[in-house]
Amino acid sequence: MALTESLADIGEFGLIERIHGLLKEIGVKAPGVSLGIGDDAASFQPRSGYEFLITCDSLIEGRHYLPHHTEPLNLGRRAMAVNISDIGAMGGHPLYAVVSMGLKPETLVAHVEDMYRGFIQELNPFQASIIGGNFTGSQHTVFIDITLIGEVKRENIMLRSSARAGDTILVTGYPGQAAAGLLLLKKVKAAEDMHAHPLVKAYNVPKHRAKEGRAIALSRKANAMIDTSDGFLADLGHICKDSRLGAVLIQEKLPISPELKKVAFELEIDPYHLFLGESDDYELIVTCPPENVPHVRSAVQSVGQVPVHEVGRITDTIGDIQWVHADGTKRPVNLQGWDHFKR
Amino acid sequence: MALTESLADIGEFGLIERIHGLLKEIGVKAPGVSLGIGDDAASFQPRSGYEFLITCDSLIEGRHYLPHHTEPLNLGRRAMAVNISDIGAMGGHPLYAVVSMGLKPETLVAHVEDMYRGFIQELNPFQASIIGGNFTGSQHTVFIDITLIGEVKRENIMLRSSARAGDTILVTGYPGQAAAGLLLLKKVKAAEDMHAHPLVKAYNVPKHRAKEGRAIALSRKANAMIDTSDGFLADLGHICKDSRLGAVLIQEKLPISPELKKVAFELEIDPYHLFLGESDDYELIVTCPPENVPHVRSAVQSVGQVPVHEVGRITDTIGDIQWVHADGTKRPVNLQGWDHFKR
């Protein structure tokens, strides 16, 4: 019975009660919340010396996820991880989430609960919590829109606009894994067998690097930082544009994993295209003076085992991103990042 | 050319640039913002002695508005007013908005700009500003999801859960006007002639009572407050449920406007149904000790000319809302409020 129960059966207020109960049961209570869910607004108090960061991101059915390929729990984790990534890329610590969902009348209550379990699974490690939200009926499309607030000390905020010419460009992890995983899922019909594949896992449950981002910010050894939410090249482009600088990339230094190489070969796709383009990996691009590279590395190692690779350097040629080869020759890199509307 | 330009023509980053320009041109800069739009997150600092309120609400095409009846500017105003109303109903002052939109590739750039003009038109009087947001492609449904942050002093927060038995129930304005306006719009095909009708205007550009709510909070003469975003009866029900009390309403005291009466008569609808049910009016329900009624009235009068009516009183019969008649007899009021999912 409960497994087939839909929103049409229990209604908006019924759903609010259920989710409220779930949050009380398995969620944590973030510090500073003076009024949680249940009134026209929630309220929270700042810690002395800190300011707040705010970001929002949404996932839309059919656009950002394939309902038949993505379990609700993983969808919840993904939606929250995307936002946590943004707070981490600024050097902040996530605290308060507000979740707005558009749901269909036939949406299963159990699926909504699973999405919330996913949100909570991502928030609990930070002692962060959901303090408000909204459910709305949406006839055609399910969407999840999350606003996440974090805290940071002013002097630790990491910007995309403060790279300097000569900076080394570092990247965490292996960008492109999730893009390759998505391609695999789309090609293969019997998706069930694929869930254990590392690339499919990278797509289904994207990692964020918020702990790493915060550690880098606290080290104060980096000049600029951004997450790869628009794809590696587009986000490196944001650093260059907003810092009024350029960049060179060393192709053979880009961390392309063996799994990615294998799948790219099998699907006859350029592995560098997967690395540079849109991919749900949420790694960090960091720029720092060359002499600070070891410090940034040890900041990242202090919180986990995520690899850090040097992939190029920032130049003073405004807005220009080039491949540079061992013999010194250059050629432009011009893959477009993800754009939600462009034809 | 510019008037037929769509999002598919200028892309996500093109749209971001256009909106950023518009905000700089006609928006204000809210106090306390240390980092605005343009990075992974925005940042803001609290004023000493204040805490933050946060709320979110969304409008979905086809569900909350009829695209052919609603101009984009008014849609923007409505989406923001709904959120401003929530902050005001808590006694707060709106400060920072984060706007997330799902848009179709064929959505006109000019329409998105008009929606932003609507947001700004509602925010500017409060010296409040948009500090972040997100655009996403949504194939089937346009949605606007706004998170709004306000500030309030702890001692001035107004709750729905703190009504007391014996309190007088007050309501601002004339609930039901917008519901009647929407019915009119749906009945009449040539909607253009209707735009000047006061009920249609009430629906097209909903008013909020945030200034009034804040003035009531500062007076410290009221016990509980809520806005009528779920409809008068549902929201009075929230006060009763969360305060563990009941209420009696005096039918002849409900402020039914002459226009509403006329339209209800013409459309053969019970005017009390329009008053009690879901309607985009965003009035305030306030409860206070009978001796404080004049103080609450003068607080409201200190910021404008919105009428305040006494409509009943809070009782100690938990969860029960009844009509009470001059001869002392009672009968239950049992209209359901708006529910987004229920059949």
Transcribe A17-79 into DSSP letters. Answer: HHHHHHHHHH----TTEEE-BTBSSEEE-PPTTEEEEEEEEEEEBTTTB-TTTS-HHHHHHHH
- Segment among A13-22, A239-248, B11-20, B192-201 with least mean pLDDT: B192-201
In this prediction, residue B192 carries a pLDDT of 62
Whether residue B90 and residue A41 make contact (CB cut-off 8 A), yes or no, is yes
Is the pLDDT assigned to residue B65 strictly greater than 90? no
Is A146 within 8 Å of A97 (Cβ atoms)?
yes
Nearest C-alpha of chain B: how many angstroms from A176?
20
- Distance from C-alpha of B324 to C-alpha of A238, rounded to nearest angstrom: 65
Spell out which residues of chain A touch residue B12, defining contact as CB-CB under 8 Å: 339-342
- Per cent of chain B over pLDDT 90 is 72
- Among B140, B145, B159, whose Cβ lies nearest the Cβ of A145? B145
Is A116 within 8 Å of A19 (Cβ atoms)?
yes
Q: Which of B34, B37, B40, B134 to mutate to test the interface with A (most CBs of A within 10 A)?
A: B40
Spell out which residues of chain A touch residue B157, defining contact as CB-CB under 8 Å: 34-35, 43
Number of alpha carbons in the 13 Å side-chain half-sphere of residue B210: 26
Whether residue A341 and residue B150 make contact (CB cut-off 8 A), yes or no, is no
Which has more confidence, B278 or B87? Answer: B87
Spell out which residues of chain A touch residue B46, defining contact as CB-CB under 8 Å: 45-46, 51-52
In this prediction, residue A47 carries a pLDDT of 87
Nearest C-alpha of chain A: how many angstroms from B265?
31
Q: Which two tokens stand for residue B297?
A: 């009235």
In this prediction, residue A188 carries a pLDDT of 73
Whether residue B340 and residue A145 make contact (CB cut-off 8 A), yes or no, is no
- Among B51, B56, B139, whose Cβ lies nearest the Cβ of A133? B56
Nearest C-alpha of chain A: how many angstroms from B296?
20
β-pair partners for A57: A146
- φ, ψ at B236 (rounded to 5°): -65, -35
- Per cent of chain B over pLDDT 70 is 95
Is residue B34 very low, low, confident or very high in pLDDT (cuts 50, 70, 90)? confident
- Distance from C-alpha of A302 to C-alpha of A221, rounded to nearest angstrom: 14
Which has more confidence, B343 or A274? Answer: A274
- Amino acid letter for position A318: I
Q: Which two tokens stand for residue B342?
A: 């229920």
Q: Which two tokens stand for residue A222?
A: 């980096």
Residue of B nearest to A228 (CA): B40
Nearest C-alpha of chain A: how many angstroms from B212?
16
Q: Which of B39, B65, B162 to mutate to test the interface with A (most CBs of A within 10 A)?
A: B39
Spell out which residues of chain B touch residue A145, defining contact as CB-CB under 8 Å: 56, 58, 100, 134, 145
pLDDT, one tens digit per residue, over B133-168 is: 999 988 888 999 999 999 999 999 999 999 999 999
Is the pLDDT assigned to residue B206 strictly greater than 90? no
Whether residue B138 and residue A63 make contact (CB cut-off 8 A), yes or no, is yes
Question: What is the rounded average pLDDT of the residues B8-36?
Answer: 91
In this prediction, residue A341 carries a pLDDT of 58
**Long-range CB pairs of A298-302, under 8 A, 24+ apart, other chains included:** A298/A219, A299/A212, A299/A215, A299/A216, A299/A218, A299/A219, A299/A221, A300/A172, A300/A212, A300/A215, A300/A216, A302/A215
Spell out which residues of chain B touch residue A11, defining contact as CB-CB under 8 Å: 339-342
Nearest C-alpha of chain A: how many angstroms from B231?
14
Selection from A71, A328, A140, A257 nearest residue B104 by Cα: A140
Q: Which residues touch B34 (CB under 8 Å, ≥6 apart)?
A: A51, A154, B43, B44, B45
Nearest C-alpha of chain A: how many angstroms from B327?
35
In this prediction, residue B341 carries a pLDDT of 58
Q: Which of A33, A39, A47, A99 to mutate to test the interface with B (most CBs of B within 10 A)?
A: A39
- Distance from C-alpha of B274 to C-alpha of B251, rounded to nearest angstrom: 13
Whether residue B45 and residue A38 make contact (CB cut-off 8 A), yes or no, is no
* Neighbour tally for B186: CB within 10 Å: 12
Question: What is the rounded average pLDDT of the residues B240-266?
Answer: 94
Nearest C-alpha of chain B: how many angstroms from A226?
7
Spell out which residues of chain A touch residue B340, defining contact as CB-CB under 8 Å: 11-12, 135-137
- Distance from C-alpha of A130 to C-alpha of A23, rounded to nearest angstrom: 8
- Segment among A204-213, B179-188, B304-313 with least mean pLDDT: B179-188
Nearest C-alpha of chain A: how many angstroms from B163?
13
Which three-class secondary structure string do you get for chain B? Answer: CHHHCEHHHHHHHHHHHHHHHHHHHHCCCCCCEEECECECCEEECCCCCEEEEEEEEEEEECCCECCCCCCHHHHHHHHHHHHHHHHHHCCCEEEEEEEEEEECCCCEHHHHHHHHHHHHHHHHHHCCEEEEEEEEECCCCCEEEEEEEEEEEHHHCCCCCCCCCCCEEEEECCCCHHHHHHHHHHHCCCHHHHCCCHHHHHHHCCCCCHHHHHHHHHHCCCCEEEECCCCHHHHHHHHHHHHCCEEEECHHHCCCCHHHHHHHHHHCCCHHHHHHCCCCCCCEEEEECHHHHHHHHHHHHCCCCCCEEEEEEEECCCCCEEEECCCCCEEECCCCCCCCCCC
Mean pLDDT of successive 10-residue stretches along chain A, which has 343 residues: 81 90 92 87 90 94 76 94 96 96 92 96 96 90 94 94 97 96 81 80 91 97 96 94 95 94 92 92 97 98 97 94 87 64 53
- Among A139, A242, A340, whose Cβ lies nearest the Cβ of B62? A139
- Distance from C-alpha of A128 to C-alpha of A124, rounded to nearest angstrom: 6
- Distance from C-alpha of A71 to C-alpha of A129, rounded to nearest angstrom: 22
Which has more confidence, B338 or B103? Answer: B103
Number of alpha carbons in the 13 Å side-chain half-sphere of residue A294: 1
- Among B34, B86, B134, whose Cβ lies nearest the Cβ of A154? B34
pLDDT, one tens digit per residue, over B254-288 is: 999 999 999 999 989 999 999 999 898 999 999 99
- Among B51, B58, B342, whose Cβ lies nearest the Cβ of A134? B58
- Among B105, B132, B143, whose Cβ lies nearest the Cβ of A54? B132
Is A221 within 8 Å of A87 (Cβ atoms)?
no
The 3-state DSSP class for residue A183 equals helix
B173: left (phi over 0), alpha (psi -120 to 50) or beta: left
Is the pLDDT assigned to residue B1 strictly greater than 50? no
- Distance from C-alpha of B52 to C-alpha of A79, rounded to nearest angstrom: 24
Is residue B61 very low, low, confident or very high in pLDDT (cuts 50, 70, 90)? confident
- Among A8, A51, A90, whose Cβ lies nearest the Cβ of B39? A90
Selection from A62, A84, A81 nearest residue A73 by Cα: A81
Is residue B336 very low, low, confident or very high in pLDDT (cuts 50, 70, 90)? low
Q: How many inter-chain contacts (A to B, CB under 8 Å) are there?
A: 240
Give just the sign of the alpha carbon dihedral A215, A219, A221, A223: positive
- Distance from C-alpha of A166 to C-alpha of A313, rounded to nearest angstrom: 6
Whether residue B51 and residue A45 make contact (CB cut-off 8 A), yes or no, is yes
Spell out which residues of chain B touch residue A92, defining contact as CB-CB under 8 Å: 41
In this prediction, residue B338 carries a pLDDT of 45
In this prediction, residue A63 carries a pLDDT of 77
Whether residue B339 and residue A12 make contact (CB cut-off 8 A), yes or no, is yes
Nearest C-alpha of chain A: how many angstroms from B287?
15
β-strands A50-60, A143-153 pairing: antiparallel
Nearest C-alpha of chain A: how many angstroms from B90?
7
Whether residue A54 and residue B41 make contact (CB cut-off 8 A), yes or no, is yes
Query: Judging by beta carbons within 10 Å of its beta carbon (0-12, 13-18, 19+), is residue A161 exposed, middle or buried?
Result: middle
- Among A13, A58, A139, whose Cβ lies nearest the Cβ of B63? A139
Average pLDDT, chain B: 91
Is the pLDDT assigned to residue B250 strictly greater than 80? yes
Q: How far is CA B284 from CA A59, A98, B211, B296, in A?
A: 34, 24, 11, 12
